[in-house]
Structure 1
Amino acid sequence: MTDTILVTGGAGFIGGCFVRQVCRQPGRRVVNLDKLTYAGNLDSLADVPEDRHVFVQGDICDYEHVATLLAEHQPSAVIHFAAESHVDRSIDGPLAFVQTNVMGTASLLEALRRYWTALPSPRREQFRFHHVSTDEVFGSLGETGFFTETTSYAPRSPYSASKAGSDHLVRAYHETYSLPTLITNCSNNYGPYQFPEKLIPLVTLNAAEGRELPVYGDGKNVRDWLYVEDHVDALLTVLERGRLGETYNIGGDSERTNIEIVRSICDLVDELQPAADGRSAHDLIRFVKDRPGHDHRYAIDFSKIETELGWRPRMSFVDGLRCTVEWYLSQREWVSRVQSGDYRRERLGLSAATIG
């Protein structure tokens, strides 16, 4: 019997990687619900076998549509990636983030509750709902310390606040209705197929084209970087063996300042695609006004998932960054296809800085 997983947001960066991995596993099938907004595309799923993958365009806010999909496909698990996910966009347009991340998750949870309640035993006992979240819900760290599963929430952007709201809703459905839930909070992901508004693909493509490389503030904000394939391995581990009602932090053990990232990419672009005029990509770096509410540092303690479930990241940041930069430099046609008409790698997130 084929095991069906419903994936929300499976045409996005992390969701797409999850779909590709699951569809390579014998006996598994994915129903992929995605709205196909600007960051969602099907190019990254072109090689997924059609008999393993059912794509459905739709919105998680559409309760009736979600309920129909659940009844039709009878999934044994649901993993929830669908979200507005870019901090700068949340500064420019916060209400879209509340609508999708909070209201959409609430609508999805209610459809799942009704579906799960009606399942016969033992399918009811085997069902899982896995909510994928972010370390940004915890706010900002100082120079030392790490986020753990018990760190208090302190979101500082509309994006992180909306994700915090969705996390709380998932926990509430577990506590109130006993819905079998799992939550993971991950650090910054990177790798192939990421929409080019995020730091690593944005800097890679701009450097390759000789365009300026804007760096917020002094560039010393710190993030922990997680290769997307490692993240998906962790997600599958939690989905299959995680304790119900628990939260697991997933980190890459790769803290870097933003300026370190930018300079490392410049080194790789200079090596892999040297400019015809001999200039270095480093000459393109420009320090610009900082983003409003820019968190100083994120760092993940992933000892819980390592101790309980035996997972830890395998890809080193040095190797992962090289693989990623090489991929973007060789996939310019993919980049041109996925970019929407209203995004051309311009700076976003200026609204709060220009009001008042």
Structure 2
Amino acid sequence: MNSVDAAGLEIGDEHPPRIMGVLNVSEESPYDPSVYDDPAEAAAYVDEALIGEGADIVDIGLESANKRFEVLSAEEELERLDVALETIVSVSGEAIFSIETRYADVADAALARGFDMVNDISGFADPRMPTVCEDYDAAVAKMASPPDLERPGAVEETDWSTRKSPAWAAEADYVDMVYEALKQNGLTEKTIVDPAFGGWSEAQTLADDQETFRRLREFRALERPMLVSINRKNFLGSIADRETDDRLPVSLAATSMAVERGAHVIRTHDVGETRDAALIGSAFADRTSHRIDDLTVSQLEAGSTRELEAKLREYDVDPSLIDDTVHHVLEIDGLSSADGTALESVTDEREATCVKLGAGRWILVGSSTEIARISAHLGDSTPNLSSLTDALGRIVS
């Protein structure tokens, strides 16, 4: 899992969950408490209700993404940018400022004048967006979306037969489409992926969002930090039969679960409460990762065999390796070529499998017993692999 440095704010497995508070400078936005068009009032809101309550990132939207409203052009967004810029200059607290936009020209102007990162709800539909973000060495949240600036998030409306293949399109379910949409148009080294919760199209259902949430761990295979925007969303309210104003409890419950399932950034209007819920999720996350010297050993998690198989397919590893005896799938990062060969030689003699992913990176699949035996054997025969044997021992202990 790659960490992302967002203007000095580290985002990833080895860091606390980050809270992204929301400010809108658009009169169309449906959630009134976060909407301001006066820079002084907006700055006061940011200082008190966002940064003051624990927001690490402040995401400023220039227009409502609600599909009921007409999409603004880049020129119209740029006309509103001055309010956002005046706001961040007036803020006294410390935070990372994110501009929510689908346009590379707007991102360029915002990054040049004080913003730190970009939140692109159109999934790089503007082909220049990745280049602009890379030019400024800026982090960018990429929401799953078709390559269409006017239809953010509408992944089911993408012509997957053309963009992927007819056979794939015939078999793909909604979560498969979300996953593939995030891969389309590539990922920068500083991309944060967003699985696109919410009613982005008429085709998207509450069941789609619920299934995406259930399978949230699968998106970790993209090896980028993950942002989720689930605050007061319909798919949560429908479970408890609550309207928007009464959905804070279900949002907080889902926040803890999202962080436990691998989310790194939570976008919310309810900053203080969400921060606390995220910390609880982080404290009890069943995610094991050990870093010793220059070596990192991470236990890939999965809530079901299907999720685990999806992870292995992403690494081009045969998913049939999974059977009733498999208890651990470990990603090892930082091995030298010689040490990797030594590990592979040991696993060849046991009921375990080692697969090379790339320079310094390996997948080790085996039961707790076999992993422990491999660790002991390496410890006895290969002293220079003490960091690996230590990490393996901690995982299976």
TM-score by length of 1: 0.27
- Which of the pair has the greater relative contact order for Cα pairs under 8 Å at 6+ separation? 1
Larger radius of gyration: 2
TM-score by length of 2: 0.25
